[in-house]
Amino acid sequence: MTQGAVEQSFRFGNTELPPEASEATRKAKRLAWLTIAFLVTAVTLVYLVMGSSQAMKAAWAEDLLSFIPPIAFLVAMRVTGRVPSEQHPYGYHRSVGIGHLVAATALLTMGAFLVFDSVSGLVAGEHPPVGLIVVLGWEVWSGWLMIAVLAYTCVPAVLLGRAKMPLAETLHDRVLHADADMNKADWMTAVGGIVGVLGIGVGLWWADSAAALFISASILRDGLTNLRVAVTALMDARATTVDGSAPHPLDDRIDEVLRGLPWVREAGSRVRDEGHVFHVESFVVARDGMPTPEQLQEAWTVVTDLDWKVEDLVVVPVDELPEELLPGLRGR
């Protein structure tokens, strides 16, 4: 445990990270802290100027929710750093999945609540009052201040999101990916809010609730997408790319390199996404009889050399590929 603290940024449990991934870890952590610092300023400013605008309220709620992913990421990073123990022989990688599930549920709940809130505002025909505010002796229409604050919140979020996206792919970290995705979408929230406030300004009372509805619908959509990917991963679905859109390329490559070994006649693997790393069970059928310990060791080496994400590889020599364990065979 003491060694874990020092080497945390270089390891996920037993997995030693290559330099590229170590660097990505360091950068991602720094960006997570930067995001939290930025959000503190955004939440404070939006709260100070929000008045009774529905759109500002939705934008504020979104900023508050945006704290969850970077915090979940930092916590998950700490937890995955632990080495497997007797109690946790598979390590602590699932913390990423749990963090992702928590973040997705928070998004979904808040999105649903805000959609309800803005729809009822529209139906009730609520006319939002936006009056004067005195700033340093100047009398300003609060709407201009709201617009200025929204414009401020939009730029850093987009930049942070763009910086995080490639790191999320390198680290295969879904919490970071969800976070980056939300940050990237933040400019829509800000622009939606600005349109709503301008709408109030020109006397369209419904513009505010309509903008709020647009913002909350995007929060709800984020929540649904993330919940689906998080639950799928926790259900031990076949490993996919970090955004959950396609099967992970490693899946096929593992079988390819195994079949490439001269003594191997057939090979099939199950790959399960534990978080940052994959747990792989590879079944191999040797050309003549049982493979030797050296051959099995060779199989282990070629697969684990493929990518740092391959952790806990189990190579099982079999007479015939087991169809019940490899449902993919049935289609062949």
Partner 1 sequence: MTTTRRRPAHAALPLVVLILAACGVTVPTDPDGTLDTVRGGELRAGVSPHEPWTQIGPDGAPTGLEVDLVEAFARTLDAEVVWTDGGEEELVADMERGDLDLVVGGFSASTPWTSKAAVTVAYVTVTDPDGKPEGHVMLTPMGENAFLVELERFLLEQEVEAP
Task: Tell me the closest approach of the beta carbon of residue 58 to partner 1, in angstroms.
Answer: 18
279/258 Cα distance (integer angstroms): 16
Task: Tell me the closest approach of the beta carbon of residue 132 to partner 1, in angstroms.
Answer: 4
CA-based nearest residue to 79, from 95, 90, 68: 95
List contacts with partner 1 (CB under 8 A).
Answer: 52, 126-134, 139, 141, 143, 147, 151, 154, 158, 161-162, 184, 187, 191, 194, 198, 200-205
261/299 Cα distance (integer angstroms): 8
Helix (H, G, I), strand (E, B) or coil at 139: strand
CB 39 within 8 A of CB 141: no
330/317 Cα distance (integer angstroms): 20
Task: Tell me the closest approach of the beta carbon of residue 129 to partner 1, in angstroms.
Answer: 3
Nearer to partner 1, 67 or 187 (CB): 187
Nearer to partner 1, 193 or 291 (CB): 193
Nearer to partner 1, 154 or 303 (CB): 154
Nearer to partner 1, 10 or 144 (CB): 144
Helix (H, G, I), strand (E, B) or coil at 58: helix
Contacts of 188 (CB under 8 A, 6+ apart): 214, 215, 218
Nearer to partner 1, 17 or 150 (CB): 150
Task: Tell me the closest approach of the beta carbon of residue 131 to partner 1, in angstroms.
Answer: 5
Task: Tell me the closest approach of the beta carbon of residue 126 to partner 1, in angstroms.
Answer: 7
CB 157 within 8 A of CB 186: yes
Nearer to partner 1, 184 or 221 (CB): 184
Contacts of 223 (CB under 8 A, 6+ apart): 104, 105, 106, 107, 108, 109, 110, 111, 112
Task: Tell me the closest approach of the beta carbon of residue 304 to partner 1, in angstroms.
Answer: 36
Q: How far is CA 15 from CA 3, 238, 278, 288, 297, in A?
A: 14, 21, 11, 34, 18
Nearer to partner 1, 119 or 198 (CB): 198
Task: Tell me the closest approach of the beta carbon of residue 246 to partner 1, in angstroms.
Answer: 19
